A and B are shown apart, each in its own frame.
Chain A
Amino acid sequence: MTLKLGVPSKGRLMEQTFEWFAARGLKLSRTGSDREYAGAIEGLQGMELVLLSAGEIPRELAAGRIDLGVTGTDLIREKLPTWSDKVEAIAEMGFGHADLIIAVPALWVDVDTLDDLDAAAAAFRARHGFRLRIATKYHRLVREFLRDNGVADYQLVDSQGATEGTVKNETAEAVADITSTGDTLRANHLKILSDGLILASQATLFQSKANTLRAADEKTLQAFRQMVNS
């Protein structure tokens, strides 16, 4: 048996993940052609590299099909209810920083807090006959956040991409999305609510709680954890 480590399969996130492990004595690499999602690990026996879409890593960890995985805290929290029963965070990796925030048009000079958003939503519903729409792909996180903060009269509309554009296209009045610098929001004439930070996310190394490991794998895991936490 081997321990399976799942890492993002492309882009900046993959490169930074490789660099992070290299700095800890584990050389990760893609093998075969550029288009083939296969990989190798040097520096520790008994481990296998699996290249996956970052969005699928939470599900694979929960199911125990990979033992370790690198993904954003935002994806873990959104996709895994009772996530702390299913995975354990081993190390925050210090890159891939992104905040899940609520943003409204910069034109809304009267709205700066959740309290304002709630009042604006009540007036919006009375005027337009439907609830103020917030576009997002993070349904669970946003809904829990707004419920905990007592915001009413809104509805979530699904947006899997180009979320910042939904307000201009009039398919939503506000957005809840991931941002790192805020540039895209500003370019789309949006501003962040001052108390609208739902979650500060970063790339994190998680361990699955789904499997009971064999003695040999358990030993590999201890060695691995020692390397990544040093």
Chain B
Amino acid sequence: MDRAIRLRAEALKAHFEAAGAQAIETSILQPAEVLLDLYGEDIRARAYVTQDPLRGEQMLRPDFTVPVVQMHMADGAEPARYTYAGEVFRRQEQATGRASEYVQVGYEVFDRATPAAADAEVFALISAPLAPLRLRAVMGDVGLLIAAVDGLDTTDARKQALRRHIWRPKRFRALLDRYSGTSPIPETRAALLASADPFAGAGLEIGLRSRAEIEDRIDALRADQKAAPIVARDVAQINRLLSIKGTLPHALTALTELSKDLTAIKPAVARIQERAQAMASRGINLDEIEFEAGYGRSSMEYYDGFVFGLYSDDAKLPPVATGGRYDALTRVLGQGAEIPAVGGVIRPELVIALEAKA
């Protein structure tokens, strides 16, 4: 690690310790199984995978969040605040010029008391040391879209399918088009559902996926065919939601207005309101925060609520800091336990590079 980057990382870590965080370390080698289970095959394209004869497949840590959550869920006190500094490793398959090894300094809060206050605390503590860089702050809340999907007047199976693809916007859109009748049912599926014996001419029974499983899916497709389409008004409301963009106060006005029709998002909007108040009381100027309702959908799969990023003017540079709320991740890794959790990371080498340019 470059000495200047190490010193800056230590200084940022000290800043978080001064705010009450406990400094922790995690292993660089992480069991691949946990990460693969969480992120799926995509993580292989982004993380370095290596083979250990005794411990099996291992990955060079692609982030700190997973090991920190695991550590906390195993034996953490409550509430807890942690800070850490160290390298993360990301494979770069495209020639983007992005670093494949860089330092992250993080701050994570596990606290049940008032999530809105914890969100504001993380945002304030991460942005404070970066204030001289005059970064652009972007904020979103994945909970809005999750709430809108849950509130749809349609079958549970459809809601489940849509929720599964919240973080894959293209497939999400394709499903929504299908369920609302905007895109036609594929010919082969129509033929299958119309046929008296779907298995006529089917091949030999091979493989682990059994005939019973195929029959189950045909039943599910039949049930789906009978379900009424999602009405155009509901699709339009989701589109309206995803198009909301502006300063935080403006976006809140638009969200409050939308929630009169789209009542399912009311609790999510109230949470954003509360968070905004907690941020304002920490002296953050809300007019300088851009809110995008669709922010965080394509890059931050474990965030399921508040998400934020701090950006420089240089569009080629990755965000200098990112973070968000990941309550569901604690549930997945907690083996029955769960706790509201929020955190963020700063990349000190970008801070140094931007200071040098200024």
Contact = CB atoms under 8 A, between A and B. Distances in A.
Nearest to B212: A127
Interface residues of B, number: 40
Contacts of A109: 192, 198-199, 202, 214, 218
On chain A, which size bracket covers the interface?
Answer: 35 or more
Interface stretch (B100-108, B115-123, B167-175, B262-270): B167-175
| Interface SS of B by simple majority | helix
Contacts of A143: 41-42, 44-45
Nearest to B195: A109
Interface stretch (A17-25, A110-118, A220-228): A110-118
Contacts, number: 114
Contact of A152 (B164, B199, B217): B164
A85 interface: yes
A173 B208 contact: yes
B36 interface: yes
A128 B42 CA distance: 21
A144 B94 CA distance: 11
| Interface SS of A by simple majority | mixed
A110 B40 contact: no
Contacts of B213: 123-124, 127
Contacts of B156: none
B216 interface: yes
A107 B214 CA distance: 9
Which of B170, B171, B205, B216 has the most chain A CB within a 10 Å cutoff?
A: B171
Contacts of A124: 209, 213
A105 B203 contact: yes
Interface string A89-129: 00000000000000001111110110110111011100110
Contacts of A151: 171
A170 interface: yes
Interface stretch (A36-44, A67-75, A153-161): A153-161
A113 to B, nearest CB: 6
A82 interface: yes
A167 interface: yes
Contacts of A81: 93-95
B207 A167 contact: yes
17 contacts: A106-B202, A107-B203, A107-B207, A109-B218, A110-B198, A113-B188, A115-B186, A122-B161, A140-B45, A144-B45, A147-B45, A149-B171, A150-B174, A152-B40, A155-B40, A168-B207, A173-B207
Interface of A: 81-82, 85, 105-110, 112-113, 115-116, 118-120, 122-124, 127-128, 131-132, 139-140, 143-144, 146-156, 167-168, 170, 173, 189-191, 194
Interface of B: 36, 40-42, 44-45, 93-95, 161, 164-165, 168, 170-172, 174, 178, 186, 188-189, 192, 198-199, 202-209, 211, 213-214, 216-218, 220-221
